Structure 1
Amino acid sequence: MSTTATPANPRSRVITASLVGTTIEFYDFYAYATAAVLVFPILFFPSDNETASLLASFAVFGAAMVARPIGAMVFGHFGDKYGRKATLVASLLTMGIATVVIGLLPTFQQIGWVAPFLLLILRLAQGFALGGEWSGAALVATENAPKGKRAWYGSFPQLGAPIGFIIANFIFLAINWLLPHAEDPALKSEAFLAWGWRIPFLFSAVMVIIGLWVRLKLVESDTFKKAGESGTIRKMPLVTVFRHYWKQLILGTFIMLATYVLFYLMTNFTLTYGTAQADAAVPGSGFGYTDFVLMQIIGVVFFGIFTLLSGPIADAIGRRKLLLWVTGAIIVFGLTFNLFLLPQVDPKFTGALTQAFLILGFMLMGTTFGPMGAMLPELFPTNVRYSGSAISYNVSSILGAAVAPFIAVALWAATGGSPWLVGVYLSAMGVLTFIALIFTPETKDHDYESDLGLAQSAEL
């Protein structure tokens, strides 16, 4: 019997639940990422050195990545032992509450060092929640997918990343634009810094209510039910995955590495570089905030399109083959940073080059990110699938996403404003991913129904 969506989980509900939930989670995550560049260095990490303030803000941003593997282990344990639905609801609530409270925080100017400390705690809560969110959403999609369409279904939770990015940044743009400006409306206003930045965080409450309504209607997949009936559900799935599937954990971690580094360079670093003035101590392209975010949003549209396109391609030719090709392209792309990212001497010329860079980078991002929703879960059997895929995905976030913005800014500053070393860094991470893919077997034909995991006796 093939794995298909049950009547209790019609396919439209499966797709909606996986897509809406990850959209909300990524919206919350990106709201913080945007504020980490535009607001938090000023309001939570003020200093006489702008680069130091930005690096401090990125350090707290990266701290969430450290919390993500912890969330993966906790949510993975409960997801593999009791089911996917409850963990998805819990992760959504945790992320939503943390995000809303960030919007209520007093600033450094009001309560001193306590403000960045509270921000750090809430950022860790966000990371903890996201650590359990992605894998659960990917499993809801792939464990309910029709035969031969697992990568296609697995691309829908991945689509939450570009949609969440677009919603978060459109809200930031709209608020900044609508508030009164003493100068150019493309720049940050005093009202935006005073209170406008809080609105996107508070708006998360509305989105969480919608997400909960959708997810509470789900029931467990037939695959997980079958694992329960066969007696393969583990008391300690975390022990099982580390003892018997450590090779898959390592391979999955490095398979995701280039994807993470690429994404956080295309979002955080490019926003920092693009909005830094050409005459600054560490020069950038000199675009206004509004102009550059609109350029990013155009690029992210291609991210979404290629995320969806990658699913059917991965179902047709295999996940490994597609990812080998796109990872090779990422390695080459990293060597072109100095050709695209230039100081704004001629606005039209620089703008066209930068837009082309963003579109190309996000196209690669969609093509590499889309198949991950199927490939990482396919590395593991049903009884440890949540734990295994979540740990791989989120440990990779430490090696890639947690340090990528920090390393990129440091390399950019070390070269006096040139981005070429940042691109070399991306290429090096791409080489590590390429090597991991070489040692990973194709997972397209992995049978969820028959691979339920080790029986109790095999564990002893």
Structure 2
Amino acid sequence: MATDDKTTSHPADPARPGSGDKPGSRAKRAMLGAWFGFFVDLFDIYLPTVALAPAIAYFIAPDLGATGIAITGGMIFTATLIGRPIGAAIFGRFADTVGRKRATIVAMNGAGIATLLMALLPGYHQLGVASVLLFVALRLVGGIFLGGEYTAANPLAMEAAPRHKRGLYSGIINTGFPLAYAAVSLITLLLLLVMPAQGVDSAYAQWGWRIPFVIGAVLAFVLVAYYRRSVDESELFTKQKGTKTPIKTLFSGRNLSAFLQVFALMTGFWLSLQPVAAVLPTLLGADGIGMSSQATTLLLVVAYLLLAAVDVAAAVLSQRIGRRTFLVYAGAVMATVATTVYFLLVRFGPGNPRLAVVCTVLVVIVVVCPWAVLPAYINERFPTSVRASGYGLAYSLAVIVPSFYAFYQAGLGFVMPFNYTGIVLLGVGALTIVGAALAGPETKDIDFRAHADVSA
């Protein structure tokens, strides 16, 4: 029978995951590991778009035009995109049959090796077009391994967390996203100040871009060492064991209902994120609001650092009012407040830098902070036997349809000014979040030890 944490207490016991709140408890070590893993994951995601972008000429033919450069960037993005759900399927099964800890260690070893190999690649002048093809292939491999990282590490952390602190731990884990963006952006800015990217023969284009990639690889190997020494296997997994066919079990019965509801929710999240994460940096640039690239980067760094603090507060709030209630209200605020602020940014931002700064910070915080609830909420939607598979696949597969945001914008551009199309995507994504959250149950009081299927 499930017990309620409000009426039943357990003494601190190092053998019980999450039973003690003292520093050094296995719950906090698992949470720190998941945070570190999420940081490394997002650090890796931004390496090509932030660190490599100023040196992309190193990998492409000198006579390649803007279209060719865009296609190259699309290939890199697509490879990473395809890798994530593949990794979630492979390592979700691994984590649900062999163990969360072992899956995390294998995944991060693979990710570190792939990132290090990227840093060692020769360029177009040495290998021709094979250089960029090798880079794309390594991004695919790295994406597979990194898709396995959060698929295993986040369920481990949530299973170790005390029930009444799952919201807090979820928020802390999610701060790895904004902090990783800030870190890779600041590292790149500092390198560009020391060695400006002035053509393919510049120091940054030849070897400077490799430094952030090496840092990313080292961080992955440090994470592996941390998990080996400090993180215990999930006791819930050890006691309850998993099914031999987690993917088949996930896509049947009540688990399938839970998966489809979370998939719809995540589709809304990914769609609403694109106007902020993908479109906003370009909108703020010279052809939109009129900011320089350095000013845009610094503004977004500040916005994401503020977001890190709000992430924790938002997740703690969900622990008080409920995940479902929080997600419904968050989606409603995104659909009303965020779209209005985005409109003000597009309409009045050019020539008004103060307004642009305020609107940018508000949009980033309102749209992105609800993600802080997801590590807890998604894991609460699935039983232990398929939790890693359910979390990883629902989280990763949902990104595919929203990833074609540029095509949706192009279509909308026939009926409205292009810079306003992001508002439509944001609104549709937000309303999808509201509908999907309403379709699911409240989860904050789910007792993982009961091994109950929490599908609606």
TM-score normalised according to structure 1 size = 0.86
- Matched letter for residue 231 of structure 2: L
Please give the alpha-carbon distance, in whole angstroms, between the structure 1 residues aligned to 2:75 and 2:359: 26
Of the structure 1 ranges 289-298 and 358-367, higher mean CA displacement relative to structure 2 is found in 358-367
Is 1:396 the equivalent of 2:398? yes
Contact 2:151 2:391 in 1 (8 A): yes
Give the corresponding residue for 2:203: 191
Identify if the C-alpha distance between structure 1 residues 430 and 55 changes in structure 2 by more than 3 Å, giving closer, same or farther. Answer: farther
Q: Structure 2 matches for 1:141-220, cutoff 5 A?
A: 141-179=157-195, 190-216=202-228, 217-220=230-233
Give the corresponding residue for 1:432: 432
Deviation at 1:9, TM superposition (A): 4.8
- Matched letter for residue 346 of structure 2: L
Please give the alpha-carbon distance, in whole angstroms, between the structure 2 residues aligned to 1:312 and 1:426: 25
Contact 1:411 1:421 in 2 (8 A): no
Of the structure 1 ranges 59-68 and 142-151, higher mean CA displacement relative to structure 2 is found in 59-68
Output one character per residue of 1:157-215: Cα deviation in whole Å (capped at 9) or x when no partner.
Answer: 21211111111111111101111587xxxx99943333322211112232123212211
2:240 to 212, 215, 227: 227
Deviation at 1:320, TM superposition (A): 1.0
Is 1:75 the equivalent of 2:76? no
Identify if the C-alpha distance between structure 1 residues 313 and 188 changes in structure 2 by more than 3 Å, giving closer, same or farther. Answer: farther
- Matched letter for residue 420 of structure 2: W
Deviation at 1:52, TM superposition (A): 5.3
1:293 to 290, 297, 320: 297
Q: Structure 2 matches for 1:44-443, cutoff 5 A?
A: 44=60, 49-50=65-66, 53-179=69-195, 190-216=202-228, 217-228=230-241, 233-244=242-253, 245-275=255-285, 277=286, 283-332=287-336, 333-334=338-339, 336-341=341-346, 346=351, 349=352, 351-400=353-402, 402-404=403-405, 406-407=406-407, 410=410, 418-443=418-443
Output one character per residue of 1:372-410: Cα deviation in whole Å (capped at 9) or x when no partner.
Answer: 01111111100100001111000112223x334x44774
Contact 1:159 1:307 in 2 (8 A): yes
Deviation at 1:219, TM superposition (A): 1.4
Identify if the C-alpha distance between structure 1 residues 58 and 269 changes in structure 2 by more than 3 Å, giving closer, same or farther. Answer: farther
Contact 2:311 2:372 in 1 (8 A): yes
Identify if the C-alpha distance between structure 1 residues 100 and 355 changes in structure 2 by more than 3 Å, giving closer, same or farther. Answer: farther
Identify if the C-alpha distance between structure 1 residues 420 and 46 changes in structure 2 by more than 3 Å, giving closer, same or farther. Answer: farther
- Matched letter for residue 201 of structure 1: F
**Unpaired segments of 5 or more residues in structure 2?**
6-15
Identify if the C-alpha distance between structure 1 residues 284 and 36 changes in structure 2 by more than 3 Å, giving closer, same or farther. Answer: farther
Contact 1:44 1:116 in 2 (8 A): yes
Of the structure 1 ranges 111-120 and 287-296, higher mean CA displacement relative to structure 2 is found in 111-120
Contact 2:350 2:356 in 1 (8 A): no
SS in 2 for 1:419: helix
Q: CA RMSD in A?
A: 2.9
Identify if the C-alpha distance between structure 1 residues 58 and 132 changes in structure 2 by more than 3 Å, giving closer, same or farther. Answer: same
Of the structure 1 ranges 249-258 and 71-80, higher mean CA displacement relative to structure 2 is found in 249-258
- Matched letter for residue 227 of structure 1: Q
Contact 2:170 2:373 in 1 (8 A): yes
Please give the alpha-carbon distance, in whole angstroms, between the structure 2 residues aligned to 1:35 and 1:343: 31
Of the structure 1 ranges 106-115 and 412-421, higher mean CA displacement relative to structure 2 is found in 412-421
- Matched letter for residue 373 of structure 1: P
Aligned-residue identity in percent: 24
Please give the alpha-carbon distance, in whole angstroms, between the structure 1 residues aligned to 2:417 and 2:210: 31
SS in 1 for 2:251: helix
Contact 1:303 1:362 in 2 (8 A): yes
- Matched letter for residue 304 of structure 2: V
Contact 2:409 2:418 in 1 (8 A): no
Output one character per residue of 1:261-294: Cα deviation in whole Å (capped at 9) or x when no partner.
Answer: 344432332223333x3xxxxx323322221111
- Matched letter for residue 154 of structure 2: A
Output one character per residue of 1:425-445: Cα deviation in whole Å (capped at 9) or x when no partner.
Answer: 221222222221121111112
SS in 2 for 1:143: helix
Identify if the C-alpha distance between structure 1 residues 191 and 388 changes in structure 2 by more than 3 Å, giving closer, same or farther. Answer: same
- Matched letter for residue 341 of structure 1: V
